[in-house]
Amino acid sequence: MTSCIFCRIVNGEVPAEVVAREPEVVAFLDVQPLADGHVLVVPRAHVAAVEELEPVAADALFRATRRLSGPVRDALGAAGTTIGINNGAATGQTIPHVHVHIVPRWADDGAGSIHTIFPRKTRRSLPDVGAAIRRVIG
């Protein structure tokens, strides 16, 4: 038996408020919701980081996120959703099983955009950073 709580939810060993159960992904409510309707979409396969996902699993994960974001928004009467992934322990990812957060949002909910979580400590020029990334991509 795995100790990964998301694998245990996927396998039905731990109860969760599941909203979608599909061949490649399972979506369920976060037990510590940031807002009503805070959904987590997880691949069935245990993978810690986005870059470790098989391409077909990545496709299924984003297709499910796309398909669920509208219904989650509409079910809660929200104005939009913030969709995000904490990718790696240093980012605040506490469960090492890839998961996409879909958080319903309202204009007056007091939360900021993704931009508001960063202190904007950039030190390098855009061309320098762009060249560095292109070199690694190859």
Q: Which of these ranges, 63-71, 89-97, 117-125, 130-138, lies near Zn ion under the rule CB under 5 A?
A: 89-97
Question: x/- string (CB under 5 A) for Zn ion, residues 98-117?
Answer: --------------------
Q: Which of 97, 99, 101, 105 binds Zn ion (CB under 5 A)?
A: 97
Interaction between residue 6 and Zn ion (CB under 5 A)? yes
Continuous H helices in 17-85: 55-76
Number of residues that bind Zn ion (CB under 5 A): 5
Question: Rule CB under 5 A: is residue 8 a binding residue for Zn ion?
Answer: no
What secondary structure, in 3-state letters, does 67-100 show?
Answer: HHHHHHHHHHCCCEEEEECCCCHHHCCCCCCCCE
Which two structure tokens, joined as six digits, stand for 103?
A: 């958080």
Cα 19 to Cα 64: distance, rounded to the nearest angstrom: 11
Asked whether the beta carbons of 27 and 42 are under 8 A apart, the reply is: yes
99 catalytically annotated:
yes
Q: Does 73 bind Zn ion (CB under 5 A)?
A: no
Tell me the β-bridge partners of 41: 27, 100
- Residues recorded for the chain: 138
Residue 46 engages Zn ion in binding (rule: CB under 5 A): yes
Q: Which residue in 38, 46, 97, 99 is the catalytic one? A: 99
In the bound state with Zn ion, the residue whose beta carbon lies nearer, of 29 and 48, is 48
Q: Which residues are catalytic?
A: 99
